[in-house]
């Protein structure tokens, strides 16, 4: 099923790429865009995880450099019947985590120093179980390719506005492309993302055996993730859909369900009563304030 979603995603983003090429260069521009998109899709399939990790300046760790964290991920991977992923730490105060890689055999998981400092061991374990849930559910290929290709479309739209020949012939179309291409790419993301997060939450509850720990982790990091800047997602807003909770740059085009709904679902799994309405309002970063 995820293979079909990936193919549809690539087709949609390639069509956007060709549309921009046609807008800025006519038929010739569309053909050039098609060739560029084909090459980019192939390159991204094999290298998107490296691009994402480089984008975050992630540092690979092992049992010597981060023994507790590395062993935690190893134990979770064993429980999930997954190959051992590569493990990374991102030097960032924004409390977040993500998974990347084209398949479970080539997966990587990463956590920020902000998340490791903010959460208890059980909560970190639950968060990393969520990321391994994405790996097990084979979400990471879609997530990683969207982060790179949607970012490329945004850059092309801006480049075409300021430098393309089409901008001088049709400035209205060029301005529309600048705003609509990134927006359309985000629409594609939103179509595939929200159920994906619920699925990873359920997998985390199964892998860690502690849905309540994930619920408390989400409650702790949701608001700080909105307030503390994430340099990587500010540079490429499409990267924000990788994270376990959305950052401020992704609020307009949120790819995640409301945090309060995720917490309520986890509370139901653990048999713990959900938060009060006032508490739910405080926890939900997607609720208008």
Residue 3 has a pLDDT of 64
Residues 73-80: contacts with CB under 8 Å, at least 24 apart:
73/109, 73/128, 73/132, 76/125, 76/128, 76/129, 76/132, 76/207, 76/208, 77/132, 79/207, 79/208, 80/129, 80/132, 80/133, 80/135, 80/136, 80/203, 80/207
**Who's near 71: CB < 8 A, 6+ residues apart?**
63
Given 123, 131, 197, 260, the catalytic residue: 131
Task: Please say whether the beta carbons of 31 and 23 come within 8 A.
Answer: no
Nearest-angstrom CA–CA distance, 85 and 117 = 22
Chain mean pLDDT for the chain? 81
Nearest-angstrom CA–CA distance, 206 and 130 = 10
Domain total of the chain: 1
Task: Please say whether the beta carbons of 189 and 150 come within 8 A.
Answer: yes
Q: What is the CA radius of gyration of the chain?
A: 19
- Where do we find the tokens 């430098």? 163
**Who's near 26: CB < 8 A, 6+ residues apart?**
166
Task: Please say whether the beta carbons of 177 and 160 come within 8 A.
Answer: yes
Nearest-angstrom CA–CA distance, 250 and 238 = 8
Asked if residue 261 is part of any domain, the answer here is yes
Residue 187 has a pLDDT of 58
Asked if residue 288 is part of any domain, the answer here is no
Domain of residue 198, residue span:
2-283
Residue 190 has a pLDDT of 59
Residue 288 has a pLDDT of 36
Task: Please say whether the beta carbons of 7 and 144 come within 8 A.
Answer: no
Asked if residue 197 is part of any domain, the answer here is yes
E strands, 44-143, in order: 59-61, 86-90, 97-100, 108-112
Is 251 a known active-site residue?
A: no
Residue 281 has a pLDDT of 43
Nearest-angstrom CA–CA distance, 127 and 119 = 10
Residue 183 has a pLDDT of 63
Task: Please say whether the beta carbons of 14 and 41 come within 8 A.
Answer: yes
What stretches in the chain show pLDDT beneath 70? 1-3, 5-6, 9, 24, 147, 149-193, 238, 249-255, 272-289
Asked if residue 222 is part of any domain, the answer here is yes
Asked if residue 289 is part of any domain, the answer here is no
Task: Please say whether the beta carbons of 47 and 141 come within 8 A.
Answer: no
Residue 166 has a pLDDT of 46
pTM summary value: 0.79
Nearest-angstrom CA–CA distance, 87 and 58 = 9
Asked if residue 102 is part of any domain, the answer here is yes
**Paired tokens of 11:** 């087709």
């Amino acid at each position: 099923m995820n293979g079909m979603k990936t193919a549809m995603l690539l087709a949609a983003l390639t069509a956007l790429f060709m549309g921009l090429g046609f807008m800025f260069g006519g038929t010739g521009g569309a053909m050039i865009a098609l060739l560029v998109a084909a090459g980019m899709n192939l390159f991204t399939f094999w290298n998107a995880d490296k691009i994402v990790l480089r984008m975050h300046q992630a540092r690979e760790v092992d049992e010597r450099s981060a023994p507790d964290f590395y062993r935690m991920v190893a134990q979770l991977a064993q429980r999930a019947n997954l190959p051992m992923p590569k493990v990374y730490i991102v030097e960032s105060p924004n409390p977040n985590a993500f998974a990347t890689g084209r398949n479970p055999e080539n997966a990587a998981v990463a956590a920020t120093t902000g998340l490791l400092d903010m959460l208890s061991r059980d909560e970190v374990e639950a968060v990393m179980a969520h990321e391994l849930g994405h790996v097990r559910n084979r979400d990471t290929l879609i997530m990683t390719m969207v982060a790179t290709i949607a970012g490329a479309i945004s850059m092309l739209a801006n480049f075409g506005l300021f430098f393309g020949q089409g901008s001088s012939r049709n400035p209205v179309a060029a301005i529309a492309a600048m705003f609509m291409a990134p927006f359309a790419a985000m629409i594609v993301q939103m179509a595939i993302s929200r159920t994906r997060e619920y699925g990873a939450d359920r997998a985390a509850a199964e892998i860690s055996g502690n849905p309540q720990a994930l619920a408390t982790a989400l409650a702790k990091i949701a608001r700080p993730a909105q307030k503390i800047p994430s340099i990587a997602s500010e540079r490429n807003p499409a990267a924000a859909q990788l994270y376990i909770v959305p950052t401020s740059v992704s609020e307009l085009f949120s790819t995640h369900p409301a945090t309060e709904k995720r917490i309520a679902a986890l509370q139901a799994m653990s048999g713990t009563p959900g938060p009060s309405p006032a508490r739910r309002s405080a926890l939900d970063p997607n609720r208008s304030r």
